[in-house]
Chain A
Amino acid sequence: MLEISRFVFMRFIMAIITLLMVSFIVFSLMELVPANCAVRYLAFKNTQGEQITIADIKAEEVRMGLDKPYVVRWAKWVTDVFVRGDFGISCILRVRVNDLLGTKFWISLGICLTSLLLAYAIAIPVGIYSATTNKPTLNNFLRFFSYLGLAMPNFLLALMIMLISTVLFGDSLTGLFSKEYRDAAWSLARFGDFLAHAWLPVFILGWSATAFALQTVRALISDEYGKLYVTAARARGLFGRQLLWRYPARHALPPIINSLGFDLNRVFNELPIVAVILTLTEAGSLLLESLARSNDQQLAGAIIFMLTASIVGLNFFTDVMLALVDPRIRRGVMGKG
């Protein structure tokens, strides 16, 4: 028991270090974007007809703390985030980032996780079948269908489904809520309405994530399937499903669970694109807005940080789960070889 808690603690420290490193990368990237926040905000004011001088910019920089060295600002940002969970104030919109993100981030995360679940629900059976079968026709058909999700650009799929539904049902399926629930408080009816809209992004994201998941599952299973312990099991008289689930599938599972966090990363990548087409008002499109259009560093930084934190969190969770099941990994991390 002591061993496990020590492992969890070690892993937790490593997750925090990774998060710090990533936050530094993200912060540095934000810094590379030309013109700082004060300049941009005042430039925006300028378009509203106000006269802006260099002195104004300087004063604004001091007020925002932009005159301090870069590392100091990063340290302050990180402590604010870690200690108080406060992401500061959005540069352009002048609203607290926490209020702006609110539940939007959790909705995005939920959509992505569900998509991932869908992807593996398809990829695991198809991958195992594809790696072990000797019937090429069904195998090729299943693979073709799964890979089509990757090959067909997400936005194209989204557009096509929207078009078909507009023509057939007169509903464009855009957005995440119907008009009457958009600003309502959470209730069972609103949740139902949300589910009625959320299936489409989940389906699109899930389908496109299937291809990579399938490649992983297929590769792992076919690597394991040729190994001697499987032959030995077969020699003992095991066959079919029993053989498959008891031996190669079990060995192939840990690497898949291990890579779940990175798969989540992949799904996050697709989210902004689908969000633009389906006019979803969640974190993905907010990110696109803040980065591509208004260059809002605080907001974008906060979203990327939250995304990364959820990936690191998922990695931490899966590692701990695996270690509980598989003592080899535990030993590997503890350095006992």
Chain B
Amino acid sequence: MAETAKTANGGAAVAESTEIGGKSKEAYFTAGQYALIWARFKMNRAAVTAGIILIGLIMMGLTAPFLSPYDPNIAGRDAEYQNGAPQIPKFWDENGFSFRPFLYTLERKRSAATNFRWITDVNKDKRRYVEFFVKGWRFFIVNIDLDLPGEDFDFRLRALPIDYHLFGMDKGRIHLFGTEAAGKDIFSRTMFAIWTSLAVGTIGVFISFVLALIIGGISGYAGGWLDSILQMITDAVRTVPAIPLFMALAAMVPDEWSAETRFFFISIILGLIGWPTLARRIRTHLLTERSQEYVLAARLCGATPGHIIRRHLLPSFSSYIIVDLVISFPYMVLSETALSFIGLGLKDPVNSLGVLLQNVTKVDVLLNYQWYFIPAGFFMALVLAFVFVGDGLRDAADPYSGH
């Protein structure tokens, strides 16, 4: 019922501006709400570009184990190539052209001539070739490791291994983005970091979304004194500065917690703090919508409040909720980064964008190892893409936009 009401709204807006509709007005008037949003979104070139970049980044995160040539953790470190510069495969050099991209062989040696220090020589005559779909380190998609008290209760499940990776070398290793101090491959770390940061954001957004839905829903639908009390609580939570709050909470985290536990804890905290803004928006929407005729009609038919909220009110502005979620996503990712940066969030063995960014703050890195900054580029692209897609969706979901 609410769907049709909304579509009628959208239809009215379309009737005003026929240039959106184009050829077939008929299809436009009967189109559903999401089809209309999609049609408007497609016209915004900046948003579409951002959307493509965003999907690309999300895919990178999802396929991280396949894209990464090496284990991003210490097990996959390259002891021969620490703090190494990025290696960009070549197609040709003074020795001739090759269809397969190649790298030179690096030879480490020390002798009396080098004062017994290790030096690395580039041997341009020995080429190493890039190979695709190579068998490499093993990643388990399902990897559950529960360390319960008592030896017998330890639970370990590993299944669905991935052995093949998009690219690798026939001899030696390739580090597209270079390596860091321990010799871990920055490219692999970046891929996994995108995944971690997206996961933290998703869990955080999900929790805050559920909370906002419940609190905003009750507050907006009930109104009156219950609304006043819930609003005061919402305002109080909004008033507490978040980072200090994080810091207090993070101080509670025992040092012996594993990376995974820490990760879930951080995501949950992010979620528990992020709800007030969305809750307020939902409340405002419900307050205006609940006095509409279709709600009255449903009530007269004997629908329960829960049913009215779920079936009539929420669908009436679900598009706004989606937009709000997209807009709040980058702020979650940013909070994770900020927390990790001040050393209270995720810590080094974990691959998250915040952890990788934390590594660039040393003067040594700034002056000598600039390739540490490459993850920062991915981070900026991720945030910008999210913000632009959010703006585009916002404009597209607004039936009165496109003046």
Chain A contact residues, CB within 8 Å of chain B: 14, 17-18, 21-22, 25-26, 29-30, 32-34, 132, 136, 140, 143-144, 147-148, 150-153, 155-156, 159, 163, 211-212, 215, 218-219, 222-223, 225-227, 261-262, 265, 268-270, 272-273, 276-277, 287-288, 291-292, 295, 300, 303-304, 307-308, 311-312, 315
- What interface size band does chain B fall in? 35 or more
Known pairs A18-B239, A156-B360, A226-B403; A29 contacts B248 (CB<8 A): yes
Q: Is the CB of A265 within 8 A of B361?
A: no
Stretch in contact with the other chain, from B90-98, B187-195, B378-386: B378-386
Q: Is the CB of B380 within 8 A of A288?
A: no
Known pairs A265-B239, A269-B243, A291-B251; A21 contacts B361 (CB<8 A): no
* Most A C-beta atoms less than 10 A away, residue of B247, B344, B357, B361: B247
> B391 interface residue, CB < 8 Å from A?
yes
* Most B C-beta atoms less than 10 A away, residue of A223, A225, A272: A272
For window 254-281 of B, CB contacts with A under 8 Å fall at: 254
Q: Is the CB of A151 within 8 A of B327?
A: no
Contact of A304 (CB < 8 Å), options: B235, B244, B387: B244
Contact of A29 (CB < 8 Å), options: B46, B249, B387: B249
For window 33-60 of B, CB contacts with A under 8 Å fall at: 45-46
Q: Is the CB of B45 within 8 A of A291?
A: no
Minimum CB–CB distance from A147 to chain B (whole Å) comes to: 5
Q: Is the CB of B330 within 8 A of A215?
A: no
Q: Is the CB of A308 within 8 A of B384?
A: no
Q: Count of A-B contacts with CB under 8 A?
A: 152
Minimum CB–CB distance from A246 to chain B (whole Å) comes to: 17
Contact of B387 (CB < 8 Å), options: A25, A132, A211, A273: A211
Minimum CB–CB distance from A170 to chain B (whole Å) comes to: 15
> B400 interface residue, CB < 8 Å from A?
yes
Contact of B357 (CB < 8 Å), options: A29, A153, A265: A153
Q: Is the CB of B384 within 8 A of A292?
A: no
Residue of A nearest to B365 (CB): A159
Q: Is the CB of B248 within 8 A of A22?
A: no
Contact with A along B289-324 (1 / 0, CB 8 A): 000000000000000000000000000000000000
How long is the Cα–Cα vector from A295 to B252 in the complex, in angstroms? 10
How long is the Cα–Cα vector from A33 to B391 in the complex, in angstroms? 40
- Some 11 contacts from A to B, beta carbons below 8 A apart, are A18-B232, A18-B239, A25-B236, A26-B248, A34-B252, A34-B254, A147-B387, A150-B383, A151-B387, A153-B379, A304-B241
